[in-house]
Amino acid sequence: MIRQLSWFSVISIFVIPVIILAAGCTKSVEVVKETTMFGITEKSPAVQPVVVTGTIDCMACNLKHSAAAKAECSIYGHDHSLKVQQVTIAGGNPTDVPQGTWYHILPNDNSKALVQEEEYHGKEVEVSGKLYAGANLLEVETFNLIEK
């Protein structure tokens, strides 16, 4: 026997949770909460203008060789990311981000060469852009190859 639900039950079960979730999703994050490491404080913006030096490398290949990850870059392509050497907040303030931290690169027109072209694989670069600290994501504005 199928039991009929009252309108009140339907609203309580389905509509109210959706409204609550939607209300929570409309808040924008302007400040990184409880982030006090790497020179980025609790009151730092969620998005920081930065200059990052590091090496363009494939995170999947790196994990394949260092941790036996089952990466198949020959089939799915490389996951070019930036392995950090130094991060400076715009204005020249250095941070204490540890060397070897990985930042994913946001794919866009400015980062297309870094993300897609093999010529940068394993090369050291200096990238100016925006760091989305909570996501370890770097949005490239400009970059320069560092010649050794």
pLDDT tens figures, 82-115: 999 999 987 788 888 888 999 999 999 999 999 9
Report the distance separating Cα 130 and Cα 109, nearest Å: 15
Q: What integer pLDDT is reported at residue 11 of this predicted model?
A: 41
pTM: 0.67
Report the distance separating Cα 34 and Cα 26, nearest Å: 21
- Give the domains, in start order, of the chain with CATH numbers: 47-145 (2.40.50)
Q: Which residue has the tokens 């694989």?
A: 121
pLDDT tens figures, 4-42: 545 444 444 444 444 444 444 433 334 444 444 455 444
